[in-house]
Amino acid sequence: MKVSFIGLGKLGLPVAISIAYKGHQVIGYDINPNRFTTTLDTVEAGLDGNPIKSSYQELFENNSDTKKNITFTDDLEKAISSSDIIFVAVQTPHNPKYEGTIRLSSDRVDFDYTYLIDCIKNISVILDKLKVKKTVIVISTVLPTTIRNYIFPVMSEYINFCYNPYFIAMGTVIRDFLNPEFILLGCVSEEATEHLIDFYKTITNSPVYRTTLENAEMIKVSYNTFIGTKICLANNIMELCDKLPNTNCDEVMNGLFMATDRLISKNYLTGGMGDGGGCHPRDNIALSWLSKKLDVSYDFFDSIMNCREKQTEYLANLIVNYHNKYKYKDYDIYLFGKAFKSNTGISTGSPAILLGNILKEKGIKFVHYDPYVDDNQPPLSNKAIYCLSTKHTCFQDYVFPNDSIVIDPFRYIKKGNNGEIEIHSVGSNNND
């Protein structure tokens, strides 16, 4: 099929390349022409799950067939007129203060739909001019009723529409797109829906879930916030186990993992840092806004975000309590990790950034370092407090200086060759 991808950000570009990799003719368009010549600056997992420098390497730079199948243009009309299916991957950003890297504010707002509305307007003008019907698929994250209230009023009659949000994670976009758990379709036009189902048969064997437009909007944000709920539960148990004798968070959760009939899966049920990224915190905060707008009896989403913030503050207080002890008052403090997840450099919505901001609020000075974000590792002090704030696998190989304290909320640093150090494995009351 001939496919155009409108919006070539951290989601759009690797997906566009993945579609070309599957043999379709793809034309990519972005309002920022630099997207056509620059590769992604984030680590993207390859098809086998291993980290590679960027999505270009495996599917584009090292694959001549993919290169033949994808082109880029700064002409929106060209992208639309030459395509059978038009995917719209335009951002619906939230204000940075709602990303989850600073304290929760008392107010709440919806996402910013300006870019998406303008994009649909521009596509509509072109289709009204061409007088040709096209299948247009929006994959951007929106709150329920957004498309009907804001997109339909500006949409051309020549658009056959379907809503198709993705369940992907930054850093594994390629793998998640090519091997999804399921494909979600918010059906509006039957013709567009069938067109899209035929397209996905060439990509994956994953099941398709067809539902109403508003259901699909709700499923997308509910999926993200459910992950936050699981993480908050796991971190609550981690904090309890950090205070109770003879308890270990991982062993408790391993027991719960056995309950596959009622508790679904073990994913996101390991104690550590809170959830992050460009979707999860912001979706909780946006649904909190929607709950207040609709006067829902209890703002569950606000509770999740407050829980996430308090659990992050618990780790900040661990650092402060160590530092306040006379023995450690002269120790330097290091936070290792800025990214929101392991083995990537994406810090959007990162709880590690939130942790740093809470420490600043408490007047604590520290060095913040992430090997996937920063060019050079700072020199390590012989006597210091180190807190792991991102679960990068490379930290397991670090040899921390003698007489140091390592606060490890992931419980994956072993004493081994680390010499005379103290390890606080948060959530395991068998601490060294």
Using DSSP's 3-state secondary structure scheme, residue 36 falls into helix
pLDDT of residue 31: 87
Quick one: which of 415, 416, 381, 372 has its CA closest to 401?
A: 381
Q: Provide the CATH topology of domain 2-212.
A: Rossmann fold (3.40.50)
pLDDT of residue 154: 97
| R_g (Cα) of the chain, nearest Å | 23
pLDDT of residue 417: 52
pLDDT of residue 39: 46
pTM for this prediction: 0.78
Contact 27, 19 (CB under 8 A): no
Contact 339, 390 (CB under 8 A): yes
Please, is 299 exposed, middle or buried when counting C-beta atoms within 10 Å of its C-beta (0-12, 13-18, 19+)? middle
Alpha carbons 249 and 271: distance in angstroms, whole number: 7
pLDDT of residue 43: 54
Parts of the chain with a pLDDT under 70: 35-62, 415-419, 430-432
